[in-house]
């Protein structure tokens, strides 16, 4: 390995990007925590709270696909800055409405739709910007650092949100506004640092010696192809699923997400139904969050040293073993231990595969490819509580967990059976390994 891990932290563009993305992530974590609780307090109706969450999920899924297309059409850092600025305005409006006592079902629904749309339309540009500012040989460590940040936000978001919400709903909006403002300023500083050019275009001055040479005859201009979002999205999907290394990993990630989250949700619901307190559930979740945070802190050490394919297989095996144990273990702390085993390698697994995907994907497609993967991952999330809830009601704990275990076994079997996935090497060799699967890609002609 030619680069030591600390050198990532000397990359000023990455630090600015991480600051911006962390501000955005904190704002969305606080909002995701506060809105369901506010809806329950204000309406006293779990169904209305569920409607708000469901509508927000659908809006986020649809807009993320559109956001992937926009990220490949336009200046990504400009879109990062614009998205953060719009989030500041939306959070300010949320604060004002909360201070005025105007929070109700309809206003919460509107804010859920607005912020979900902002996140879906502009987040893919922020994710794709990593491709433009982080050297390929450091991409795995950058993704591992992102996983650590996400785990910390997940662990701290609940307590911070709870304290703010206890003091008043408007404080959630004020904190979101401050976090989004930090995100916007950092994105603007990133643009000032590296330039505002579109991906693949440098902001450099023309070479003087070259400009003194006679101009070459211009090639005949090809007719411009009108922008078509659906066609451009299909290009990204088609490219992704022609790659055996990336398509298998994407499908495996979707299946394991569904199996693992369905199983964990089933075990938590069953513990609550057995008469244990909400505080016990909280400590169980805190234990798994701490395990994920420790795993995230270790990910920057694991990703450069262990092949990404091997990390994925080990992570899938850990999830499968934990789900198998869950069928037999019913005590809260036994379940908490199994959950810790399941999630410990998830940050390294995510960092390895997402880093390799970023290196392997052409710049012209990275926004769309990332958005498709994100939608598949998010699409599995709302199904998990449905599987757990209906499974417990109709079949009981054991059969529901066996179904979740079956999904985990399928994911592990797919990973083991896929040589292109298994053979993905460690971070330093990603670029060379990806070349064997390369296909020519034409950058989409669109109105930029």
Residue 102 sits in the same domain as residue 169: yes
Q: What is the pLDDT, as a whole number, of residue 355?
A: 92
Lowest pLDDT segment from 66-70, 152-156, 244-248: 152-156
Q: Which residues contact 271 (CB under 8 A, 6 or more apart)?
A: 280, 281, 284, 330, 332, 335
pLDDT band for 441, please (50, 70, 90 cuts): low
Out of 57-66, 130-139, 336-345, the most confident range is 336-345
Does the residue 87 lie in any domain?
yes
Q: Which whole-number Å values give the CA distances from 401 to 288, 289, 378, 407, in the listed order? A: 18, 21, 21, 10
- At 168 the pLDDT is 78
> Could you tell me if 170 and 312 lie in one domain?
no
Q: Are residues 79 and 146 in the same domain?
A: yes
Q: Which residue has the higher pLDDT, 204 or 272?
A: 272
In Å, what is the CA distance from 6 to each residue of 42, 75, 129, 242?
48, 29, 21, 36
Question: Based on the domain organization, do 47 and 102 belong to the same domain?
Answer: yes
Provide long-range contacts, Cβ within 8 A and 24+ apart, for 422-425.
422/309, 422/310, 422/313, 423/307, 423/309, 424/245, 424/249, 424/307, 424/308, 424/309, 424/312, 424/352, 424/353, 424/356, 425/307, 425/308, 425/309
Whether residue 176 contacts residue 87, with contact meaning beta carbons closer than 8 Å, is answered with yes
CATH number of the domain residue 386 falls in: 1.20.1250.20
CA 368, distance to chain mean position in Å, is 14
pLDDT band at 159 (very low <50, low <70, confident <90, very high): confident
This prediction has a pTM of 0.79
Residue 168 is encoded by which pair of tokens? 């008043």
Q: How do residues 358-375 score in pLDDT, each as one tens digit? A: 999 998 899 999 899 888
Residue 213 has phi, psi (to 5 degrees) of -75, 155
pLDDT of residue 43: 75
Say what the pLDDT of residue 446 is.
Answer: 44
Do 325 and 244 belong to one domain? Answer: yes
Answer whether residue 221 shows pLDDT above 70. no
What's the pLDDT band for 418 if we cut at 50, 70, 90? very high
Same domain, 291 and 374: yes
Return the structure tokens found at 375: 């939608």
Same domain for 124 and 257?
Answer: no
Average pLDDT over residues 72-90: 94
Q: What is the pLDDT confidence band of residue 392, given thresholds at 50, 70 and 90?
A: confident
End-to-end CA distance of the chain: 39
Residue 316 lies inside a defined structural domain of this protein: yes
Q: Which residue has the tokens 């390294």?
A: 348
CA dist., res. 228 & res. 447, Å (int) = 10
pLDDT number for residue 259: 94
Structural domain boundaries enclosing 178: 7-199
Token representation of residue 308: 């990404």
Instruction: Place 414 in a pLDDT band, splitting at 50, 70 and 90.
Output: very high
Is residue 213 a part of any domain in this protein?
no
* Contact criterion met (CB below 8 Å) for 20 and 187: yes
Query: 301 lies in a domain?
Result: yes
What pLDDT score does 284 carry?
A: 84
Q: Which of 205-214, 268-277, 310-319, 391-400 has the highest mean pLDDT?
A: 310-319
In a domain, residue 176? The reply is yes
Using the predicted structure, report yes or no on whether residue 286 has a pLDDT greater than 50.
Answer: yes
Q: How many domains in the chain?
A: 2
Do 145 and 96 have their domain in common?
Answer: yes
Alpha carbon distances (Å) from 243 to 59, 290, 400: 29, 35, 33
Is the model's pLDDT at 215 over the cut of 50?
Answer: no
Q: Kindly state whether residues 393 and 260 are assigned to the same domain.
A: yes
A 10 A CB-CB count for 29 gives: 20
Choice between 320 and 436, residue whose per-residue pLDDT is larger: 320
Q: Of 199, 217, 239, which residue constitutes the final position of a domain?
A: 199
Whole-number Å distance between alpha carbons of 258 and 115: 25
**Span of 176-190, 269-283, 354-368 with lowest mean pLDDT:** 269-283
Is the pLDDT reported for residue 113 higher than 60?
Answer: yes
Placement of tokens 């069953």 in the chain: 270
Q: For the chain, what is the largest distance between any 2 Cα atoms, rounded to a whole number of angstroms?
A: 84
pLDDT > 90? residue 38: no
Distance between CA atoms of residues 435 and 103, nearest Å:
54
Q: Is the pLDDT of residue 411 over 60?
A: yes
Residues 177 and 92: their CA atoms lie apart, in Å, by 6
Is 214 among the domain residues? no
- Within a domain: residue 81? yes
Residues 195 and 235 in one domain: no
Examine the domain organization and report whether 243 and 159 are in the same domain: no
Question: How high is the pLDDT of residue 182?
Answer: 97
Q: Return the ∠ at Cα 44 (arms to 41 and 48), rounded to 5°.
A: 100
Range of weakest confidence among 33-42, 132-141, 312-321, 439-448: 439-448
Please report which confidence band the pLDDT of residue 46 belongs to, taking 50, 70 and 90 as the band edges.
low
- CA-to-CA separations, 414 to 207, 254, 315, 322, in angstroms, rounded: 51, 12, 13, 18
Do 115 and 258 lie in a common domain?
Answer: no
Given a cut of 50, is residue 285 above it in pLDDT?
yes
Question: How many residues does this entry show for the chain?
Answer: 448
DSSP sequence for 387-405:
HHHHHHHHT-HHHHHHHHH
* pLDDT at residue 262 is higher than 60: yes
pLDDT confidence band for 101 (50 / 70 / 90):
confident
Mean pLDDT of the chain: 84
Chain centroid to Cα 80, Å, comes to 15
What is the average pLDDT across 33-37?
Answer: 76
Neighbours of 20 (CB within 10 A): 27
CB 87 within 8 A of CB 24: yes
User: Quick one: pLDDT at residue 380?
Assistant: 72
Q: What is the pLDDT of residues 2-13, one digit of tens each?
A: 444 447 778 899
Nearest to 179 by CA among 93, 88, 79, 92: 88
pLDDT bucket at 153, cuts 50 / 70 / 90: confident
C-alpha to C-alpha distance for 72 and 76, rounded to whole angstroms: 8
207 found inside a domain: no
**Average pLDDT value for residue range 166-192:** 91
Q: Which of 199, 223, 257 is at the close of a domain?
A: 199
> At which of 181, 199, 217 does a domain end?
199
């Amino acid at each position: 390995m030619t680069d030591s891990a600390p050198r990532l932290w000397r990359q000023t563009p990455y630090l600015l990007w991480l600051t911006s993305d962390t501000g955005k992530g904190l704002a969305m974590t606080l909002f995701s925590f506060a809105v369901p609780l506010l809806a329950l307090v204000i309406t006293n109706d779990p169904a209305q709270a569920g409607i708000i969450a469901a509508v927000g999920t659908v809006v986020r899924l649809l807009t993320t696909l559109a956001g992937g297309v926009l990220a490949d059409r336009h200046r990504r850092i400009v879109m990062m800055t614009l998205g953060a600025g719009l989030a500041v305005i939306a959070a300010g409006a949320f604060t004002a409405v909360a201070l005025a006592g105007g929070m109700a079902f309809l206003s919460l629904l509107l804010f859920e739709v607005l912020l979900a749309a902002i996140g879906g339309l502009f987040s893919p540009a922020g994710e794709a910007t990593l491709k433009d500012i982080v050297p390929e040989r450091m991409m795995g460590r950058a993704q591992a650092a992102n996983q650590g940040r996400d785990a910390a936000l997940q662990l701290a978001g609940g307590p911070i949100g709870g304290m703010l919400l206890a003091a008043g709903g408007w404080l959630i909006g004020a904190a979101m506004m401050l976090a989004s403002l930090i995100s916007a300023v950092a994105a603007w500083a990133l643009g000032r640092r590296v330039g505002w050019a579109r991906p693949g275009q440098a902001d450099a001055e023309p070479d003087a010696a070259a400009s003194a040479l006679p101009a070459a005859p211009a090639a005949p201009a090809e007719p411009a192809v009108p922008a078509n979002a659906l066609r451009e999205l299909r290009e990204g999907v088609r490219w992704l699923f022609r790659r055996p290394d990336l398509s298998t990993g994407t499908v495996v990630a979707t299946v394991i997400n569904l199996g693992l989250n369905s199983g964990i949700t089933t075990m938590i619901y069953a513990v609550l139904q057995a008469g244990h307190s909400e505080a016990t559930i909280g400590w169980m979740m805190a234990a798994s969050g701490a395990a994920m945070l420790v795993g995230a802190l270790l990910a920057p050490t694991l990703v450069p040293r262990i092949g990404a394919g091997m990390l994925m297989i080990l992570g899938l095996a850990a999830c499968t073993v934990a789900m198998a144990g869950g069928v037999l273990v019913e005590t809260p702390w036994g379940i908490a231990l199994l959950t810790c085993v399941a999630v410990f390698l998830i940050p390294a697994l995510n960092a390895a595969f997402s880093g390799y995907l970023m290196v392997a994907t052409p710049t012209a497609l990275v926004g769309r490819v990332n958005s498709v993967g994100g939608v598949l991952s998010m699409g599995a999330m709302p199904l998990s509580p449905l599987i757990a809830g209906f499974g417990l009601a109709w079949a009981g704990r054991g059969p529901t967990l066996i179904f979740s275990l079956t999904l985990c076994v399928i994911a592990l079997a797919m990973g083991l059976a896929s040589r292109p996935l298994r053979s993905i090497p460690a971070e330093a060799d990603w670029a060379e390994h990806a070349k064997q699967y390369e296909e020519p890609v034409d950058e989409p002609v669109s109105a930029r």
